[in-house]
A and B are shown apart, each in its own frame.
Chain A
Amino acid sequence: MDGSEVLLLSRAQFGLNIGFHILFPSLTIALGWILLYFRIRYACSGDPAWLATYKLWTKVFALSFAMGVVSGITMSFQFGTNWPGFMQKVGNIAGPLLAYEVLTAFFLEATFLGVMLFGMNRVPGWVHIFASAMVAIGTTLSAFWILALNSWMQTPAGHAMDAGQIVAGDWWQVIFNPSFPFRFTHMLLASGLTAAFVVAGLSAWRLLRSAEDASARATLRTGLVLAAVLAPIQPFVGDQHGLNTLEHQPAKIAAIEAIWKTETSVPLVLFAIPDDDKRRNDFAIELPKAASLLLKHDVGAELRGIDSFGSDTAPVAPVFFAFRAMVGIGMLMLAAAWAGAWATRRGRLPPRWMLWTLSGFTFSGWLATLCGWLVTEIGRQPWLVTGILKTADAAGAASGAQLGASLTGYVITYTAMFLAYVVVLTHLAGKGAHP
């Protein structure tokens, strides 16, 4: 087995693990806040239906959180086992950011989660609300540090050289690097939409079985209203994020839009099959001048193509398709959220076909998040840290056999865990909340 295959196995293993992991935080970040909302509604109304609702969704949260914790622990080891070059080269930056995540976020959420899950009868109401708030703050802080690191890997800033080592010159600039505000906002909105659709989808699933379930009707409405509010904000933030990427990572934009040659008045490729070998698009459907208009707000503007970046470019096809899938799913989610919010206005129950549709949309946020993650991570290749460290130079020395054996173990474990998770979630939702 040669080096490139080992690198591919290493990437496949880490990609599998991080792709599996990202599902659960992207749900729990926002679900923590939704839970806090349910908890406060119960505290204000004293209505046992809200309490039952809160308890049901606490179970969903606990399950998702556990999935996130165990796959997250795995990641903290795989940094060393799969990418030792990453820590050797940029450890002085990446290390402290990860350490701050553990210190400020992990312990906070894990400790108060115990109080939140098991302590309701043991502490006064306000302490329990406080614990719920700490869990929500913890998950959000965790996202803050991870997105700071990921953004720094995309658009490094604030670093300096000292005795041949990369060190932080200005931590403020490292954390608030150019793409961080956009990426963090984009991720929080993605989490909000993911959680909103999980809440709405599982509530719709319950209502298909028992249309009179008042708790499920309330949570369906909560999920749909939240989704209907967030869904139109996301494309706007995404657009700003894209402009930021154009400024700092133009090669990624060229891959996203499948622009092979540097030109003026560039058309927007709506659909095509990019051919990475021949460096051209087949079966392209294009909108004349639209890419220049979208990205530069000027129909005659010049955009850099893949050809201007030499060999340092990402594979175009996966980035191009993942981006279109993300946008497409996002649009469908927008339509579903608005239609659903309209159909549930003033306590109405949507028709069954719409409940089925919403159930089908339960995990739509995950698909869109995964697609977006593929765009941003594959779009950065061949770099692991833009302009500083190439992915190939960070890989570890694990043999193909070791990687193969552990990868098999992970695939089996993750598949079983994921199936069990979905089964238990639908089972919980099907039973509904019971006061």
Chain B
Amino acid sequence: MNLDLPLVFAALMGLAMLMYVVLDGYDLGVGMLMPAADAREQELMVASIGPFWDANETWLVLGVGILLVAFPVAHGIVLGALYLPVAAMLIGLMLRGVAFEFRVKAEGWHRELWNALFWFGSFLASFAQGFMLGRYITGFHAGFGYTLFALLVGASLCGGYVLLGATWLILKTQGVLQGKALGWARWGLMWVALAVALVSLATPFVSESVQAKWFDFPRTLAPMLLPLATLAAGWWVWASTGRLKRGEPESDWVPFAAAVAIFVIAFAGLAYSLFPYVVIDRMTIWEAASHPSALRFMLAGVVIVLPFLIGYTAFAYRVFRGKARAGLYE
């Protein structure tokens, strides 16, 4: 069998990263929304992500793990260049992860402190991830404009995660909290729309190879569909939250699905822009790949394990379907 193994692993890595961004995105978003809710609502919000956050973060380990094991040279370059934002993200993820466990067991001002750390950790991790993405797509060039661009992407990703988190809450809650979540989702959407517009305008200027790809007629026809699709998905979020707000018939999973669609489309655009580079303009996936023997051994594991992984993940989401209930620990 003559598989293009680096391509297979690039696809797997992309899939893992996309899963991570969508799954941990909603729970990071819920974390960032905590200060906007009252104490009773916060319990529900935390309960809605409680059973899932551990497994959600595991996708990050898988994504980075594939980068590490399938493209080891690129892993060193990418993470070396992103040394400080990686450290910031990790500290953020650590703070929110343990705050999640600690806040349940704490009382009084202790709980307030852990709530604050949960919010801060969620924000720090989200912002750092966006910042890293910004640095990554500009090929780690130094300079004021590039840093500004990375900060912009950081802020955009926070908006995106807030949108995911809010639509997740629409799906998992009801009543007053759901009403609030509808409002948050619309704010998140406006934030995302502004950010997507700015990032799309800026991207061709900060990366020449992206520019070449986007304006190389007629190859541009396919990616031109992506902004249209993004608009459609954005409209879908706006319209469905509007119907839910007015109490018109609409399924409560629709806004979340539409928000996920925005992420999937943005991801497709990104993948189109970067391919076949794993370090933009410097290293392709074939140049960075591990030895075929290592890739084959891992692929065997992936093929065997993936169906089980999907199976029990689906099982867990099925067990916890429906609206969240507070006091899960009791």
Residue of A nearest to B297 (CB): A96
Per the 8 Å Cβ criterion, residues 86-128 of A in contact with B are 87-88, 91-96, 98-100, 102-104, 106-108, 110-115, 117-119, 122-123
Per the 8 Å Cβ criterion, residues 196-228 of B in contact with A are none
Which range holds the interface residue count of chain A? 35 or more
Residue of B nearest to A17 (CB): B90
Known contacts A108-B312, A110-B54, A165-B291, A95 near B62 by CB under 8 Å: no
Give A25 Cβ to nearest chain B Cβ, in Å: 14
**A420, B293: Cβ atoms under 8 Å?**
no
Chain A interface SS verdict (over half)? helix
In the assembled complex, B37 has its CB within 8 A of some CB on chain A: no
Residue of B nearest to A109 (CB): B54
Residues of B with C-beta under 8 A to A417: 94, 98
Per the 8 Å Cβ criterion, residues 367-405 of A in contact with B are 396-398, 402, 405
In the assembled complex, B280 has its CB within 8 A of some CB on chain A: no
Per the 8 Å Cβ criterion, residues 301-327 of B in contact with A are 301-302, 305-306, 309, 312-313, 315-316, 319-320
Residues of B with C-beta under 8 A to A351: none
Give A210 Cβ to nearest chain B Cβ, in Å: 19
Residues of B with C-beta under 8 A to A162: 291, 293
Give A199 Cβ to nearest chain B Cβ, in Å: 18
A59 and B328 alpha carbons, distance in the complex (Å)? 12
A406 and B100 alpha carbons, distance in the complex (Å)? 23
**B68, A95: Cβ atoms under 8 Å?**
yes
**A84, B94: Cβ atoms under 8 Å?**
no
Per the 8 Å Cβ criterion, residues 51-105 of A in contact with B are 59, 62-63, 65-67, 69-74, 76-77, 79-81, 84, 87-88, 91-96, 98-100, 102-104
Q: List the one stretch of B79-87, B173-181, B258-266, B270-278 in contact with chain A.
A: B79-87
In the assembled complex, B155 has its CB within 8 A of some CB on chain A: no
Give B60 Cβ to nearest chain A Cβ, in Å: 6
Q: List the one stretch of B70-78, B185-193, B247-255 in contact with chain A.
A: B70-78
In the assembled complex, B281 has its CB within 8 A of some CB on chain A: no
Residue of A nearest to B64 (CB): A76
In the assembled complex, B52 has its CB within 8 A of some CB on chain A: yes
In the assembled complex, A171 has its CB within 8 A of some CB on chain B: yes
Residues of B with C-beta under 8 A to A398: 80, 83
Q: List the one stretch of B101-109, B135-143, B234-242 in contact with chain A.
A: B101-109
**A73, B98: Cβ atoms under 8 Å?**
no
Known contacts A87-B68, A100-B301, A102-B65, A81 near B319 by CB under 8 Å: no
Known contacts A72-B61, A80-B68, A114 near B320 by CB under 8 Å: yes
Residue of A nearest to B311 (CB): A111
Residue of A59, A74, A92, A106 near B294 (CB, 8 A) is A92
Mark A residues whose CB is within 8 Å of B: 59, 62-63, 65-67, 69-74, 76-77, 79-81, 84, 87-88, 91-96, 98-100, 102-104, 106-108, 110-115, 117-119, 122-123, 134, 162, 165, 167-168, 171, 396-398, 402, 405-406, 409-410, 413, 417, 420-421, 424, 427-428
Can you identify 18 A-B contacts, CB atoms within 8 angstroms? A63-B98, A69-B57, A70-B93, A73-B60, A77-B64, A81-B79, A87-B75, A88-B76, A96-B297, A103-B302, A107-B312, A107-B313, A114-B51, A117-B329, A118-B320, A122-B319, A134-B312, A406-B87
Mark B residues whose CB is within 8 Å of A: 50-52, 54-55, 57-58, 60-62, 64-70, 72-73, 75-80, 83-84, 86-88, 90-91, 93-95, 97-98, 100-102, 105-106, 290-291, 293-294, 297-298, 301-302, 305-306, 309, 312-313, 315-316, 319-320, 328-329
3 tightest CB-CB pairs across the interface, nearest first?
A95-B69, A84-B76, A114-B51
Query: What would 12 more interface pairs be, CB under 8 Å, given A69-B97, A115-B51?
Result: A63-B102, A73-B57, A76-B64, A77-B90, A87-B76, A92-B290, A102-B61, A107-B312, A118-B51, A118-B329, A122-B319, A410-B91
